[in-house]
Structures are given as C-alpha cells and as structure tokens.
C-alpha cells in the first residue's frame, strides 16, 4: 500500500472540495485518512494467505452444528468507499475436522478488510470454510448497515441488508437450515 499516494490523493480531494489542505485543522488530515484506509483495507496488503486462515485443524468426531454468531464486521463498499458494518453468523457441520472458533472470525476479517460488496464477502467466507474443512455443510448469514445507503443517496437510515450463503446440508436439509436460522434468531 502506498501511503504517500493516498495522502497526495486526499490532498487533491480537499482542494477539489474548495478546502485548503494547509489550514491548521486539515494539516494532518491526509495522513490520518491514509492511516485509516491502510487499517480498514489491510487485507490488500496482508502477507497472510487464505490457505493459512483455517490451517490449524483438529480431527474430531462431532457431527452437530458449530456456530459462531454475531462476529463484528467492518468493510468498505467498493462502489462508494464508505463503510458498511454489522455482524456475520458462521456455522458448519463438520466432516472429520474442526477449526478453532477464532479461525472463523479470522476468515471474516480476512475478506472484510478489502474493498467489498456484501454478497461476495458472504460467499468468500462460506467457500473458504467449505474448501478448507470439507464439512458436511456451511452456512453464513451477514447483517450489515451500509452507509452508502444510509447517509447519502436514498438516505434510508435503519435499513439492514441480509445476505446468506448455504452449502451442503445447510442448503439441502430443511431441518439443518431451520436450526441455523433459529439459533441466529431468524425464522
């Protein structure tokens, strides 16, 4: 990530807005904005490989659902570069292997920390778990508020976008799907 280019670019934005980037209140703003983007979009600069996210696995005979719900999510909408925030609910029914719960949250962060759309983010998380653990099924539901819709444009404050990706038994078995939705509080 080129922090200097981000700073220079934001100075141009300030000038384009008719602001003086050299006035006292804005002197360090380009630097702060560059640091903010490097943090929020750290996935673009990550040395971590997606194969490493769920690499720590344990052989375990467990054939019931494993669910980590209410995982905080913050990402940047790639269309307007405004944040969207909310929670992800991630579940799977193991095959022969399980992963530590923190690894599920790590999978969410790995993909969230780059310019995104919620639909793709939901799918990427589910498919990574499916590829890495080879479970009987995976379910991911995300609930997010998009500031590109709540503070600009149509300005529909309070709107929440839901996306889901269901694989294997979560898609084919109505009972598994219903249990998942019940556990996350959705019917």
Q: Catalytic amino acids?
A: 77-80, 118, 146, 148
| Rounded Cα–Cα distance for residues 143 and 110 (Å) | 17
Tokens of 124: 């990427």
| Structure-token match 């944040």, residue found | 83
| Rounded Cα–Cα distance for residues 143 and 57 (Å) | 28
Tokens of 102: 């923190």
Q: How many CB atoms lie within 10 A of CB 40?
A: 18
Q: How many CB atoms lie within 10 A of CB 86?
A: 19
> Minimal CA–CA distance to 104: which of 65, 66, 74?
66
């Amino acid at each position: 990530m080129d922090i200097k280019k981000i700073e220079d670019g934001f100075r141009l934005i300030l000038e384009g807005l008719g602001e003086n980037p050299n006035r006292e209140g804005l002197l360090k703003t380009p630097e702060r904005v560059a640091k903010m983007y490097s943090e929020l979009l750290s996935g673009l600069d990550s040395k971590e490989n997606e194969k490493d996210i769920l690499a720590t696995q344990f052989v375990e005979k467990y054939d019931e659902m494993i669910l980590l719900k209410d995982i905080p999510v913050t990402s940047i909408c790639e269309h307007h570069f405004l944040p969207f925030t909310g929670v992800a609910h991630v579940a799977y029914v193991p095959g022969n292997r399980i992963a530590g719960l923190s690894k599920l949250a790590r999978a969410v962060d790995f993909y969230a920390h780059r310019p995104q759309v919620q639909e793709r983010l939901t799918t990427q998380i589910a498919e990574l778990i499916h590829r890495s653990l080879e479970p009987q099924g995976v379910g991911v539901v995300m609930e997010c508020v998009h500031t590109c819709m709540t503070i600009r444009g149509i300005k529909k404050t309070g709107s929440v976008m839901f996306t889901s990706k269901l694989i294997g038994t979560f898609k084919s078995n109505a009972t598994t799907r219903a249990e998942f939705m019940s556990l996350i509080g959705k019917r």
